[in-house]
């Protein structure tokens, strides 16, 4: 099938979660035999492409850059509609954003089946400023969100509570993100040993890694605090933090008394992440939903790349004991769980895994589980089935 995948607010290529998601889905569907056309964001091209899309092809995926600011994504409708008219895709997919929707609208008007990807709560809880402003203006964003949901033939989301209750539940399919299990696997090529030496980490130390965005709800401060607890208790560990974000300066400041036991390496290209993860004995995902009202309201709808990528690298994982994380990582099987926000319990869970006699087996089980249930290949196979169902239904088959 020829597919148009609209992700106009996402930079592709890029090194953050949204970029990884769009790239993996596009390449995964292309590997299944589909012709993929992706509408993405590339800020460096903005001036020359506001009115005229730039088309390029990367690894069998066609990229179309139509670069309006994210807040004005819906104004890309003329370009998206033209692409739909010229390409005549069998189906359209769009990554939901409340100020986007051009792909869903164009597909609806051309009577082409569409699939809406929803990766966050569609309607914010009342405590969020954007929601209060929308309420004050007569709820135009909420209305537009409902229209998009009703126009779509299917809605794919990690957790169905992201979708307003007024939407037909029969069209919602829960589908987690995944890991690239071919790229993320341990390879004994000496690169990790060289990186360890480059970072100056003594060979006798166990390495505990945090990967991802330095935002409050990702728990980076809890990770640093738990690491300090371990160091104060005499554990010979090194805390490796890969990523960047607004909380990084405060996290570095908190770790400064133990700076010789912490490495903040910043953001690294996604294809280099496996080399950093291969240094570690434990991967930690200390999510803390307290600073995130939407996660508190709808449950943990975020599909955490870091956990799947740890698992693919055969790392035992320590994460918060909240659903659905606690059904992905099971205590004593793929790692350990701790009470959300409890730093002492987080430190205890890390210590429990570090000293487990079956630590290697925990990592092996994590790898098997992600290959079987949480790979991008499995994700794209499920999308492939849904897309074929949509097209068959539209043609009355």
DSSP 380: H
For residue 296, CA distances in Å to 69, 164, 174, 204, 289 come to 29, 16, 19, 40, 6
Taking the CA atoms of 302, 127, 243 and 57 in sequence, report the sign of the dihedral they define.
positive
| Per-residue pLDDT in tens (0 to 9) along the chain, 397 residues | 999 999 988 888 777 888 899 999 999 999 999 999 999 887 655 444 444 556 677 678 998 887 777 778 888 899 899 999 999 999 999 999 888 999 999 999 999 999 999 998 999 888 888 899 988 999 999 999 999 999 999 999 999 999 999 999 999 999 999 999 999 998 777 788 899 999 999 999 999 999 998 998 999 999 999 999 999 999 999 999 999 999 999 999 999 999 999 999 999 988 899 999 999 999 999 999 988 888 888 888 888 999 999 999 999 999 999 999 999 999 999 999 999 999 999 999 999 999 999 999 999 999 999 999 999 999 999 999 999 999 999 877 5
Residue 388's nearest CA partner among 90, 93, 130, 187 is 90
Report, in this order, helix, strand and coil percent for the chain, each rounded to 5: 45, 20, 35
Q: Which residues lie across from 375 on neighbouring strands?
A: 179
Give, rounded to a whole angstrom, the gap between the first and last alpha carbons of the chain. 16
**Is 191-373 assigned to CATH 3.40.50.2000?**
yes
Contact 6, 41 (CB under 8 A): no
What pLDDT score was predicted for residue 53? 53
What pLDDT score was predicted for residue 184? 95
For residue 266, CA distances in Å to 18, 26, 87, 226 come to 18, 27, 40, 20
Query: What's the whole-model pTM score?
Result: 0.91
What pLDDT score was predicted for residue 54? 61
What pLDDT score was predicted for residue 242? 97
What pLDDT score was predicted for residue 300? 87
Report the b/e string of 244-257 with b at 16+ CB within 10 A: bbebbeebeebbee
Domain with CATH 3.40.50.2000 in the chain: 2-178+375-394, 191-373
Structure tokens at 345: 């319990």
Residue 347's nearest CA partner among 218, 205, 210, 229 is 229
DSSP 177: -
Report the b/e string of 292-313 with b at 16+ CB within 10 A: bbbbebbbbbbbbbbbbbbbbb
User: Is the backbone peptide bond immediately before 324 cis, with ω within 30 degrees of 0?
Assistant: yes
CATH classification of 2-178+375-394, choosing from 1.10.10.10, 3.10.129.10, 3.40.50.2000, 3.20.20.70? 3.40.50.2000
Structure tokens at 98: 């409340």
Contact 329, 316 (CB under 8 A): no
Contact 305, 25 (CB under 8 A): no
What pLDDT score was predicted for residue 3? 97
What pLDDT score was predicted for residue 58? 67
Helix 376-394 × helix 17-31 angle, to 10°: 60
For residue 81, CA distances in Å to 74, 115, 146 come to 11, 16, 21
């Amino acid at each position: 099938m020829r597919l148009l995948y609209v992700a106009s607010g996402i930079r592709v290529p890029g090194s953050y979660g949204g970029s990884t998601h769009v790239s993996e889905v596009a390449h995964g569907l292309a590997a299944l035999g589909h012709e993929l056309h992706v509408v993405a964001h590339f800020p460096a091209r903005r001036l020359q492409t506001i009115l005229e899309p730039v088309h390029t092809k990367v690894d069998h995926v066609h990229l179309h850059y139509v670069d309006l600011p994210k807040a004005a994504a819906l104004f890309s409708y003329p370009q998206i509609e033209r692409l739909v008219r010229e390409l005549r895709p069998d189906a359209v997919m769009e990554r939901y954003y409340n100020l986007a929707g051009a792909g869903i609208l164009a597909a609806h008007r051309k009577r082409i089946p569409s699939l809406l990807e929803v990766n966050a709560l569609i309607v914010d809880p009342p405590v969020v400023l954007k929601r209060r402003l929308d309420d004050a203006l007569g709820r135009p964003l909420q209305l537009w969100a409902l229209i998009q949901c009703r126009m779509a033939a299917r809605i794919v989301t990690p957790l169905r509570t992201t979708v307003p209750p007024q939407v037909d539940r029969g069209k919602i399919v829960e589908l987690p993100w995944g890991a690239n299990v071919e790229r993320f696997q341990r390879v004994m090529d000496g690169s990790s040993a060289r990186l360890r030496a480059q970072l100056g980490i003594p060979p006798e130390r166990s390495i505990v890694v945090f990967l991802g965005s330095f935002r409050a709800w990702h728990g980076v401060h809890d990770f640093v605090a738990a690491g300090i607890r371990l160091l104060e208790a005499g554990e010979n560990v090194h805390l490796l933090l890969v990523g960047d974000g607004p909380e990084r300066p405060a996290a570095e400041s908190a770790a400064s008394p133990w700076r010789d036991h912490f490495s903040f390496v910043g953001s690294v290209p996604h294809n280099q992440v496996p080399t950093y993860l291969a240094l570690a004995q434990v991967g930690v995902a200390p999510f803390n939903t307290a600073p995130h009202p939407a996660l508190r309201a709808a449950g943990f709808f975020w599909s955490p790349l870091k956990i799947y990528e740890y698992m693919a690298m055969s790392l035992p994982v320590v994460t918060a004991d909240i659903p659905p994380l606690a059904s992905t990582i099971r205590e004593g099987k793929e790692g350990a769980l701790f009470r959300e926000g409890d730093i002492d319990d987080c430190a205890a869970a890390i210590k429990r895994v570090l000293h487990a006699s079956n630590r290697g087996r925990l990592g092996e089980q994590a790898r098997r589980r992600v290959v079987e249930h949480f790979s991008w290949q499995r994700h794209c196979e499920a999308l492939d089935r849904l897309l074929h169902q949509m097209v068959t239904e539209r043609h009355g088959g």
